[in-house]
Amino acid sequence: MSSPPNIARLYDDHAPALFAFLRNLLRNETDTRDILQDLFVKLARRPNLLDGVRHERGFLLRLSHNAAIDLIRRRGARERNHEQLDRESASLFAASADPDTQVFREKLAEALGDLPTEQRAVVHLKLWENLTFDAIAETLQIPLNTAASRYRYGLDKLRERLRPIYDEIK
């Protein structure tokens, strides 16, 4: 039996990435914090959870994704308005001193928010976690082709939405 995981080390290594992923999926700061806390409590309660896991980050992203999808389903349509409000009030990306970059980030956050959750998850993992389609398929437990097509559709929509501002600041 392996030694219990060092929760602080796991947090320092993975929490920033999990925060960005959950924040992008859920569009809600409180829900993101709740899921993140539940995840680390779960790791503390079950020290063997990471036994045999080859890629900690991938495994934690999968747990986070499952929890986020579960929460979204439970919430249902009743709280979609809440999501809309949150989308407008809190920024997904870091603030930038450069006005062009700032505008691009705001538009990108909006465009990402309009993607279906499953496309958003794939786009996030591909672009900001640099995962291969194989790794994305494994993380999200979907077929490889599905991962690739979700990325392509998602990227096409983003390109379409952001074309005017992208051409302007290029």
Partner 1 sequence: MNSEFEKRMQSQSFREIPGQWRGEIMAEAAKWQSRPGSAPARHPTLRLLSDWLWPYPKAWAGLAAIWIVILAMNLADSDGRRQMANVNPPPSRAMLEALKEQQQMLARIFAPPAPIAAEPPKPSRPSRSEIRPLRRYV
Residues in touch with partner 1 (CB under 8 A): 1, 4, 7-8, 11, 15-16, 19-20, 23-24, 33, 36-37, 40-41, 43-49, 51-52, 66, 69-70, 91-95, 101, 104-105, 108, 127-128, 155, 158-159, 162, 166, 170
Among residues 46 and 80, whose Cβ is nearest to partner 1?
Answer: 46
Shortest distance (Å) from residue 80 CB to partner 1: 20
Do 17 and 57 meet the contact criterion of CB atoms below 8 Å apart?
Answer: yes
In this structure, which amino acid lies at residue 138? E
Closer to partner 1 by Cβ: residue 75 or 105: 105
Nearer to partner 1, 16 or 143 (CB): 16
Query: Nearest distance from residue 38's CB to partner 1, in Å?
Result: 9
How far the first Cα of the chain sits from its last, in Å, is 54
- The least distance separating partner 1 from the CB of residue 46, rounded to whole angstroms, comes to 5
Tokens coding 125? 């993992």
Q: How many C-beta neighbours within 10 Å does residue 26 have?
A: 24
Q: How far is the CB of 45 from partner 1 (least distance, A)?
A: 5
Instruction: Give min distance, CB of 145 to partner 1, in A.
Output: 20
Instruction: Report the chain's C-alpha Rg in angstroms.
Output: 17
CB 106 within 8 A of CB 11: no
Q: Would you put residue 141 in left (φ > 0), alpha (ψ -120 to 50) or beta?
A: left
Nearer to partner 1, 11 or 153 (CB): 11
The residue (of 37 and 145) whose beta carbon lies closer to partner 1 is: 37
CA angle, 152 as apex, 151 and 154 as ends, to 5°?
A: 65
The 8-class DSSP code of residue 94 comes to: P
